[in-house]
């Protein structure tokens, strides 16, 4: 939950970078970049990883991301799994050292989606630009001005936001296209075969209908997630682990219903502000609130984007987003061996299908709806805080612990 009176640019939700984990690779790597800029004279950096960063850092390639960023320096990385008194489950300490003398030590939290916070300082990754922090307020503002949610976003963001979203959309399509071409085993030790290409073939053999939808949505979600799993270029939406849901829905629906790229750019704006609401009022970090915060948020963003593309009203968009998130409540994060593979890849496909279903339900059920999007976001945060740490990206519970017990 962000402790500020307003929301940041949706650029914070859509970061272009390398997988497999925004909080475990992008965040730590950005923190090291900041330290490197501040202490270029340092010859050594000592990095201590705590909490989820320590427990799943190897599977999530945190050490690799850090070494890549600090490649010209000596780099000592310590995985401290014992420390439990942490302000955030993804905490790290970075010490800059020159000729064995400490120059400075900073504590950093990787708060999800690649964003970071330095203890006691404000690192400005972005300015607060949205004065509203609830869907209720955004909807009231849009109604008063007679504008859509996409226009709301464009009225607060800077003049280059559409160009940025075009870049995001191009990257999403490129990631999916490249994932659809590849066969083979995903490295990491789980011996998982890539499935996207096979699902695409199956989908293309069907005429438009429910079966084709299932195969193609899954193919696109698998393609993006399989690319993420091997550390390829992708877009967080809102995180690396959940980066297959939104592109899968948008690519499939563009093919099926013929939306043009500019319409998709507007839909990305709508999805972005929904992701922003979750980030501001709850969390998009699996280490903080479980997978409901990652895949649940991706699903709610995709549902809102599709509802917007289909020309539904603001109330129907809210309803679609609310249904999509409500039925992810309680979803745990339990990646086997700390890899962003099982359950992550398949989960992206399931969430893409769920987003499409949420929009269909919202078209019919939005009247007299009892649960608001704001309420379900708040509930997700409370549920996440109540989840045992074992289910918050530590690989110590759920599938991660049972799979190891049975098979290793």
Instruction: Closer to ligand SF4 by CB, 153 or 230: give it.
Output: 230
CB 279 within 8 A of CB 187: no
Per CB under 6 A, 294 contacts ligand SF4: yes
Cα torsion 348, 352, 355, 357: sign: negative
Q: Which stretch binds ligand SF4 (CB under 6 A): 125-133, 138-146, 180-188, 289-297?
A: 289-297
Cα–Cα distance between 385 and 405 in angstroms, integer?
27
Interface with ligand SF4 includes 12 (CB under 6 A)? Answer: no
Q: Contact region for ligand SF4 (CB under 6 A) — 211-219, 288-296, 363-371, 382-390?
A: 288-296
Q: Which range in 91-99, 261-269, 320-328, 337-345 contacts ligand SF4 by CB under 6 A?
A: 337-345
| Token code pair at residue 56 | 């799943």
Tell me if 376 contacts ligand SF4 by CB under 6 A: no
Establish if 289 lies at the interface with ligand SF4 (CB under 6 A). Answer: no
Is residue 352 part of the contact set for ligand SF4 (CB under 6 A)? no
d(CA 35, CA 46): 11
The two tokens of residue 25 are: 């690779």
> Applying CB under 6 A, which part among 30-38, 209-217, 342-350, 378-386 lies near ligand SF4?
342-350
- 333 part of the interface to ligand SF4, by CB under 6 A: yes
Stretch that binds ligand SF4, among 34-42, 146-154, 158-166, 343-351 (CB under 6 A): 343-351
How many residues of this chain bind ligand SF4 (CB under 6 A)?
13
CB contact at 8 A, 376 and 283: no
Which residue of 286, 309, 359, 387 would you call a contact of ligand SF4, by CB under 6 A?
Answer: 286
**Residue 63 interacting with ligand SF4 (CB under 6 A):** no
Site for ligand SF4 in 154-193 (CB under 6 A): none
Judged by DSSP in three states, 178 sits in helix
* 3 state SS for 144-156: HHCCCHHHHHHHH
Q: Which helix (H) or strand (E) holds 59?
A: none
Which CB sits closer to ligand SF4, 268 or 340?
A: 340
The per-residue DSSP string of 92-121 comes to EEEEEEETTEEEEEEEEEEEETTEEEETTS
d(CA 151, CA 141): 11
276's tokens: 């922003």
Interface with ligand SF4, residue 250, by CB under 6 A = no
Minimum gap (Å) between residue 84 Cβ and ligand SF4: 20
Binding to ligand SF4, residues 183-242 (CB under 6 A): 241-242
Which of 252-285 are b and which e, b meaning 16 or more Cβ less than 10 Å from the residue's Cβ? bbbeeeebeeebbbbbbbbbbbbbbbbbbbbbbb
Q: How does 327-361 read in b/e, with b if 16+ C-beta sit within 10 Å?
A: bbebbbbbbbbbbbbbbbbbbbbbbbbbbbebbee
Task: Work out whether 335 is an interface residue with ligand SF4 (CB under 6 A).
Answer: yes
The DSSP code for 392 is: B
Site string for ligand SF4, 388-407 (x = CB under 6 A): -----x--------------
Shortest distance, position 238 Cβ to ligand SF4, whole Å: 11
User: Which one of the spans 119-127, 264-272, 274-282, 287-295 is the region binding ligand SF4 (CB under 6 A)?
Assistant: 287-295
According to the binding rule CB under 6 A, does residue 114 interact with ligand SF4? no
Choose the binding region for ligand SF4 from 99-107, 177-185, 286-294, 359-367 (rule: CB under 6 A): 286-294
The encoded tokens of residue 274 equal 């929904």
| E strands in 126-190 | 128-130, 185-186
User: Whose Cβ is closer to ligand SF4: residue 303's or residue 333's?
Assistant: 333
Residues contributing to the site for ligand SF4 (CB under 6 A)? 241-242, 286, 291, 294-295, 333, 335, 340, 343-344, 347, 393
């Amino acid at each position: 939950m962000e402790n500020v009176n307003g929301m940041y640019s949706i650029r914070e939700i859509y970061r272009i970078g390398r997988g497999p984990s925004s909080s475990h690779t992008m965040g730590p790597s950005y923190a090291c970049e900041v330290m490197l800029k501040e202490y270029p004279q340092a010859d050594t950096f000592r990095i201590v990883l705590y909490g989820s960063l320590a427990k799943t850092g190897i599977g999530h390639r945190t050490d690799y991301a850090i070494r890549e960023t600090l490649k010209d320096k000596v780099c000592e990385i310590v995985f401290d799994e014992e420390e439990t008194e942490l302000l955030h489950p993804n905490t790290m300490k970075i010490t800059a050292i020159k000729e064995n003398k400490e120059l400075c030590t900073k504590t950093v939290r990787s708060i999800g989606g690649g964003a970071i916070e330095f203890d006691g300082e404000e690192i400005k990754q972005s300015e607060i630009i949205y004065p509203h922090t609830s869907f209720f307020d955004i909807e009231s503002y849009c109604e008063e001005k007679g504008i859509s949610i996409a226009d709301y976003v464009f009225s607060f963001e800077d003049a280059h936001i559409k160009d940025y979203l075009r870049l995001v959309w191009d990257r999403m399509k490129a990631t999916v296209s490249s994932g659809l071409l590849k066969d083979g085993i995903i490295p990491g030790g789980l011996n998982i075969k890539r499935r996207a290409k096979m699902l695409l073939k199956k989908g293309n053999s069907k005429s438009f209908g429910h079966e084709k939808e299932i195969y193609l949505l899954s193919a696109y979600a698998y393609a993006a997630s399989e690319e993420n799993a091997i550390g390829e270029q992708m877009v967080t939406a809102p995180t690396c682990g959940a980066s297959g849901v939104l592109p899968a829905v948008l690519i499939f629906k563009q093919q099926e219903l013929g939306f043009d790229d500019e319409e998709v750019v507007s839909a990305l704006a709508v999805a972005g502000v929904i992701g922003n609401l979750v980030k501001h009022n709850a969390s998009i970090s699996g280490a903080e609130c479980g997978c409901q915060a990652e895949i649940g948020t991706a699903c709610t963003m995709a549902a809102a984007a599709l509802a917007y593309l289909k020309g539904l009203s603001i109330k129907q968009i809210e309803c679609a987003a609310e249904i999509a998130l409500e039925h992810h409540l309680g979803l745990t994060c339990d990646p086997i061996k700390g890899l962003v593979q099982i359950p992550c890849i398949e989960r992206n496909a399931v969430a893409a299908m769920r987003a499409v279903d949420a929009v269909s339900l919202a078209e019919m059920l939005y009247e007299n709806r009892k649960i608001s999007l704001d309420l379900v976001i708040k509930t997700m945060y409370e549920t996440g805080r109540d989840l045992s740490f074992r289910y918050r990206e530590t690989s110590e519970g759920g599938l991660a612990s049972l799979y190891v017990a049975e098979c290793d």
